[in-house]
Amino acid sequence: IVVVTYLKVYGTKRLDTLILLNGAFQGLSVVGDLFSGEIALSSSTLTNFITNFDDGSGKLTKAMELLNKTGLLNFTTPLGEFIIEKAGKQLQTETLVPLVGSMPILWCFIPQHQYPEVRKFISGDPKYAKLLAKADRYHKEIMPNVESLLKNAMRKGVHVAVIASYGLYPVPVSKNSLYQTDGALNSAYEAGGATAAPIGKTLPPGTPAKYRSPDNIFDASTCMLPDQTWFIKNSGHFPEPSASLRDWIIHCKKQPTITSSKKFPQYLYWDGSKQTLTPLKK
Protein backbone atom coordinates (compact mmCIF):
# COMPACT_ATOMS: atom_id res chain seq x y z
CA ILE A 1 0.00 0.00 0.00
CA VAL A 2 2.85 2.37 0.84
CA VAL A 3 4.66 1.46 -2.38
CA VAL A 4 1.74 2.09 -4.71
CA THR A 5 0.93 5.31 -2.85
CA TYR A 6 4.56 6.37 -3.32
CA LEU A 7 4.18 5.82 -7.07
CA LYS A 8 1.14 8.09 -7.12
CA VAL A 9 2.65 10.86 -4.98
CA TYR A 10 6.36 10.83 -5.90
CA GLY A 11 6.61 9.02 -9.23
CA THR A 12 9.46 6.76 -10.35
CA LYS A 13 12.59 8.92 -10.52
CA ARG A 14 14.28 7.29 -7.52
CA LEU A 15 13.15 3.73 -8.26
CA ASP A 16 15.10 0.97 -9.98
CA THR A 17 13.17 -2.19 -9.05
CA LEU A 18 9.74 -2.54 -7.47
CA ILE A 19 8.59 -5.89 -6.03
CA LEU A 20 5.15 -6.33 -4.53
CA LEU A 21 5.61 -9.36 -2.27
CA ASN A 22 2.43 -10.81 -0.73
CA GLY A 23 0.98 -7.31 -0.88
CA ALA A 24 -2.49 -6.13 0.14
CA PHE A 25 -2.68 -3.49 -2.59
CA GLN A 26 -6.13 -4.81 -3.60
CA GLY A 27 -7.32 -5.16 -0.05
CA LEU A 28 -7.51 -7.80 2.62
CA SER A 29 -10.63 -9.99 2.54
CA VAL A 30 -10.74 -10.71 6.26
CA VAL A 31 -10.73 -6.99 7.12
CA GLY A 32 -13.46 -6.20 4.60
CA ASP A 33 -15.57 -9.10 5.83
CA LEU A 34 -15.20 -8.17 9.50
CA PHE A 35 -16.16 -4.56 8.95
CA SER A 36 -19.04 -5.38 6.62
CA GLY A 37 -20.50 -8.03 8.92
CA GLU A 38 -19.68 -11.03 6.72
CA ILE A 39 -18.46 -13.00 9.72
CA ALA A 40 -18.95 -16.65 10.61
CA LEU A 41 -17.36 -19.44 12.61
CA SER A 42 -17.61 -23.15 11.87
CA SER A 43 -15.78 -26.34 12.71
CA SER A 44 -14.71 -26.89 9.09
CA THR A 45 -13.17 -23.42 8.63
CA LEU A 46 -11.44 -23.66 11.99
CA THR A 47 -10.09 -27.11 11.16
CA ASN A 48 -8.84 -26.00 7.77
CA PHE A 49 -7.03 -23.01 9.21
CA ILE A 50 -5.29 -25.01 11.94
CA THR A 51 -3.92 -27.44 9.34
CA ASN A 52 -1.92 -24.51 7.90
CA PHE A 53 0.46 -25.04 10.78
CA ASP A 54 1.20 -28.68 9.98
CA ASP A 55 4.97 -29.20 9.95
CA GLY A 56 4.78 -31.39 6.86
CA SER A 57 4.40 -34.68 8.73
CA GLY A 58 0.63 -34.65 8.32
CA LYS A 59 0.09 -35.39 12.02
CA LEU A 60 -1.77 -32.16 12.76
CA THR A 61 -3.96 -32.54 9.69
CA LYS A 62 -4.87 -36.10 10.65
CA ALA A 63 -5.59 -35.04 14.23
CA MET A 64 -7.99 -32.32 13.09
CA GLU A 65 -9.71 -34.73 10.70
CA LEU A 66 -10.18 -37.16 13.57
CA LEU A 67 -11.68 -34.46 15.80
CA ASN A 68 -14.15 -33.61 13.04
CA LYS A 69 -15.10 -37.25 12.47
CA THR A 70 -15.70 -37.83 16.17
CA GLY A 71 -17.90 -34.75 16.38
CA LEU A 72 -15.80 -33.09 19.08
CA LEU A 73 -15.78 -29.84 17.10
CA ASN A 74 -19.49 -29.83 16.31
CA PHE A 75 -20.12 -27.20 18.97
CA THR A 76 -18.14 -24.63 16.98
CA THR A 77 -20.80 -23.82 14.39
CA PRO A 78 -23.74 -23.25 16.79
CA LEU A 79 -21.45 -21.36 19.16
CA GLY A 80 -20.27 -19.14 16.34
CA GLU A 81 -23.82 -18.53 15.13
CA PHE A 82 -24.94 -17.69 18.67
CA ILE A 83 -22.13 -15.18 19.19
CA ILE A 84 -22.73 -13.53 15.81
CA GLU A 85 -26.50 -13.35 16.32
CA LYS A 86 -26.23 -11.90 19.83
CA ALA A 87 -23.16 -9.71 19.47
CA GLY A 88 -22.38 -9.36 15.77
CA LYS A 89 -23.55 -5.76 15.45
CA GLN A 90 -21.94 -4.79 18.74
CA LEU A 91 -18.68 -6.35 17.56
CA GLN A 92 -18.64 -3.87 14.70
CA THR A 93 -19.95 -0.71 16.32
CA GLU A 94 -18.59 -1.09 19.86
CA THR A 95 -15.37 -3.01 19.32
CA LEU A 96 -13.94 -2.87 15.79
CA VAL A 97 -14.51 0.81 15.07
CA PRO A 98 -13.58 2.25 18.51
CA LEU A 99 -10.52 0.03 19.01
CA VAL A 100 -8.98 -0.18 15.54
CA GLY A 101 -11.22 1.97 13.36
CA SER A 102 -8.89 4.96 13.66
CA MET A 103 -5.99 3.10 12.01
CA PRO A 104 -5.62 4.42 8.43
CA ILE A 105 -4.00 1.20 7.23
CA LEU A 106 -7.13 -0.83 8.01
CA TRP A 107 -9.22 1.41 5.76
CA CYS A 108 -6.70 0.84 2.98
CA PHE A 109 -7.03 -2.91 3.55
CA ILE A 110 -10.76 -2.88 2.74
CA PRO A 111 -11.35 -4.28 -0.78
CA GLN A 112 -12.74 -1.76 -3.22
CA HIS A 113 -16.13 -3.42 -3.65
CA GLN A 114 -16.76 -3.37 0.13
CA TYR A 115 -15.56 0.14 0.87
CA PRO A 116 -18.78 2.12 0.13
CA GLU A 117 -20.72 0.01 2.63
CA VAL A 118 -17.99 -0.10 5.29
CA ARG A 119 -17.31 3.67 5.27
CA LYS A 120 -20.85 4.19 6.59
CA PHE A 121 -19.60 3.11 10.02
CA ILE A 122 -17.68 6.36 10.48
CA SER A 123 -19.17 8.71 7.88
CA GLY A 124 -21.53 10.36 10.38
CA ASP A 125 -18.97 10.93 13.14
CA PRO A 126 -17.10 14.27 12.87
CA LYS A 127 -14.09 12.96 14.81
CA TYR A 128 -13.37 10.60 11.89
CA ALA A 129 -13.62 13.30 9.21
CA LYS A 130 -9.88 13.59 8.48
CA LEU A 131 -9.43 9.82 8.55
CA LEU A 132 -12.33 9.37 6.15
CA ALA A 133 -10.88 11.96 3.79
CA LYS A 134 -7.60 10.02 3.64
CA ALA A 135 -9.39 6.71 3.14
CA ASP A 136 -11.57 8.22 0.42
CA ARG A 137 -8.52 9.52 -1.37
CA TYR A 138 -6.83 6.11 -1.31
CA HIS A 139 -9.94 4.32 -2.58
CA LYS A 140 -10.61 6.95 -5.25
CA GLU A 141 -7.15 7.85 -6.52
CA ILE A 142 -4.84 4.96 -5.75
CA MET A 143 -6.40 1.50 -5.29
CA PRO A 144 -8.43 1.62 -8.55
CA ASN A 145 -5.35 2.88 -10.43
CA VAL A 146 -2.69 0.42 -9.24
CA GLU A 147 -2.51 -1.28 -12.64
CA SER A 148 -1.89 1.96 -14.50
CA LEU A 149 0.64 3.08 -11.87
CA LEU A 150 2.62 -0.16 -12.24
CA LYS A 151 2.50 -0.13 -16.04
CA ASN A 152 3.57 3.51 -16.10
CA ALA A 153 6.52 2.63 -13.87
CA MET A 154 7.53 -0.12 -16.31
CA ARG A 155 7.31 2.29 -19.25
CA LYS A 156 9.70 4.59 -17.39
CA GLY A 157 12.26 1.80 -16.94
CA VAL A 158 11.43 0.52 -13.46
CA HIS A 159 11.65 -3.26 -13.16
CA VAL A 160 8.32 -4.38 -11.70
CA ALA A 161 7.40 -7.79 -10.29
CA VAL A 162 4.47 -9.17 -8.30
CA ILE A 163 4.84 -12.25 -6.07
CA ALA A 164 1.87 -14.05 -4.51
CA SER A 165 1.81 -17.05 -2.19
CA TYR A 166 -1.00 -19.61 -1.99
CA GLY A 167 -2.12 -23.01 -0.79
CA LEU A 168 -3.14 -22.11 2.78
CA TYR A 169 -6.59 -21.70 4.30
CA PRO A 170 -7.91 -18.25 5.34
CA VAL A 171 -8.44 -16.98 8.87
CA PRO A 172 -11.72 -18.67 9.93
CA VAL A 173 -13.86 -15.63 10.72
CA SER A 174 -15.57 -15.05 7.39
CA LYS A 175 -18.54 -16.53 5.56
CA ASN A 176 -16.21 -16.60 2.57
CA SER A 177 -13.58 -19.02 3.87
CA LEU A 178 -12.79 -21.01 0.73
CA TYR A 179 -10.41 -18.70 -1.10
CA GLN A 180 -6.69 -19.28 -1.64
CA THR A 181 -4.43 -17.46 0.84
CA ASP A 182 -0.92 -17.31 2.25
CA GLY A 183 -2.53 -17.77 5.65
CA ALA A 184 -3.37 -14.08 5.93
CA LEU A 185 -4.01 -12.46 2.54
CA ASN A 186 -6.22 -13.39 -0.39
CA SER A 187 -3.80 -14.79 -2.99
CA ALA A 188 -5.88 -13.59 -5.96
CA TYR A 189 -5.68 -10.04 -4.58
CA GLU A 190 -1.94 -10.39 -3.99
CA ALA A 191 -1.56 -11.33 -7.64
CA GLY A 192 -3.44 -8.31 -8.89
CA GLY A 193 -6.67 -10.02 -9.87
CA ALA A 194 -5.76 -13.60 -10.75
CA THR A 195 -8.54 -16.12 -11.27
CA ALA A 196 -8.38 -18.77 -8.57
CA ALA A 197 -10.25 -21.97 -7.83
CA PRO A 198 -11.69 -22.22 -4.31
CA ILE A 199 -9.21 -23.87 -1.99
CA GLY A 200 -9.53 -27.62 -2.24
CA LYS A 201 -10.86 -27.43 -5.81
CA THR A 202 -9.49 -26.83 -9.31
CA LEU A 203 -10.42 -24.58 -12.22
CA PRO A 204 -13.07 -25.80 -14.67
CA PRO A 205 -12.04 -27.21 -18.08
CA GLY A 206 -11.35 -24.67 -20.77
CA THR A 207 -9.24 -22.30 -18.68
CA PRO A 208 -6.60 -20.65 -20.93
CA ALA A 209 -3.45 -22.77 -20.78
CA LYS A 210 -0.73 -20.14 -21.19
CA TYR A 211 -0.99 -18.70 -17.68
CA ARG A 212 -2.61 -21.67 -15.94
CA SER A 213 -0.83 -23.27 -13.01
CA PRO A 214 0.32 -26.92 -13.35
CA ASP A 215 -1.98 -27.85 -10.45
CA ASN A 216 -4.89 -26.16 -12.28
CA ILE A 217 -5.64 -23.80 -9.40
CA PHE A 218 -4.69 -20.40 -10.85
CA ASP A 219 -5.17 -18.60 -14.14
CA ALA A 220 -2.87 -15.58 -14.27
CA SER A 221 -4.23 -14.23 -17.54
CA THR A 222 -6.53 -11.91 -15.58
CA CYS A 223 -3.71 -10.40 -13.51
CA MET A 224 -2.74 -6.75 -13.83
CA LEU A 225 0.68 -7.90 -15.02
CA PRO A 226 0.36 -11.55 -16.13
CA ASP A 227 3.93 -11.72 -17.49
CA GLN A 228 5.47 -10.19 -14.36
CA THR A 229 3.50 -12.10 -11.70
CA TRP A 230 4.88 -15.16 -9.89
CA PHE A 231 3.12 -17.60 -7.56
CA ILE A 232 4.65 -19.69 -4.78
CA LYS A 233 2.62 -22.66 -3.60
CA ASN A 234 2.73 -23.82 0.02
CA SER A 235 4.30 -20.54 1.14
CA GLY A 236 2.96 -18.61 4.10
CA HIS A 237 2.93 -14.87 4.66
CA PHE A 238 6.65 -14.49 5.24
CA PRO A 239 9.53 -13.52 2.93
CA GLU A 240 12.00 -16.43 3.21
CA PRO A 241 10.55 -18.69 0.45
CA SER A 242 10.85 -15.94 -2.14
CA ALA A 243 14.43 -14.93 -1.30
CA SER A 244 16.13 -16.52 -4.32
CA LEU A 245 13.39 -15.29 -6.68
CA ARG A 246 13.65 -11.76 -5.30
CA ASP A 247 17.45 -11.76 -5.62
CA TRP A 248 17.18 -12.84 -9.24
CA ILE A 249 14.60 -10.14 -10.00
CA ILE A 250 16.70 -7.45 -8.33
CA HIS A 251 19.81 -8.35 -10.35
CA CYS A 252 18.08 -8.71 -13.73
CA LYS A 253 19.57 -6.30 -16.26
CA LYS A 254 16.22 -5.92 -18.01
CA GLN A 255 12.57 -6.27 -17.04
CA PRO A 256 12.17 -9.86 -15.79
CA THR A 257 9.26 -11.94 -17.04
CA ILE A 258 7.87 -15.38 -16.29
CA THR A 259 9.80 -16.75 -19.30
CA SER A 260 13.14 -15.07 -18.55
CA SER A 261 14.50 -17.98 -16.47
CA LYS A 262 13.84 -21.72 -16.48
CA LYS A 263 14.68 -21.69 -12.77
CA PHE A 264 11.92 -19.21 -12.03
CA PRO A 265 8.82 -19.91 -14.15
CA GLN A 266 5.50 -18.35 -13.19
CA TYR A 267 4.55 -21.11 -10.74
CA LEU A 268 6.93 -22.29 -8.04
CA TYR A 269 6.76 -24.65 -5.06
CA TRP A 270 8.21 -24.06 -1.61
CA ASP A 271 9.33 -27.17 0.26
CA GLY A 272 9.48 -26.06 3.87
CA SER A 273 11.23 -29.19 5.12
CA LYS A 274 14.04 -28.86 2.57
CA GLN A 275 13.93 -25.06 2.40
CA THR A 276 13.96 -25.16 -1.38
CA LEU A 277 12.12 -23.23 -4.09
CA THR A 278 11.59 -25.17 -7.32
CA PRO A 279 9.32 -25.03 -10.39
CA LEU A 280 5.85 -26.33 -9.59
CA LYS A 281 4.95 -29.66 -11.18
CA LYS A 282 1.56 -31.30 -11.65
pTM over 0.75: yes
pLDDT at 42: 57
Which value, in Å, is the radius of gyration of the alpha carbons in the chain? 20
Nearest to 183, CA basis, from 234, 110, 230: 234
pLDDT at 75: 47
Residues of the chain with confidence (pLDDT) below 70: 37-100, 171-177
Q: How far is CA 205 from the centre of its chain?
A: 25
Contact 114, 31 (CB under 8 A): no
pLDDT at 178: 78
Rounded distance, CA 21 to CA 272, Å? Answer: 18
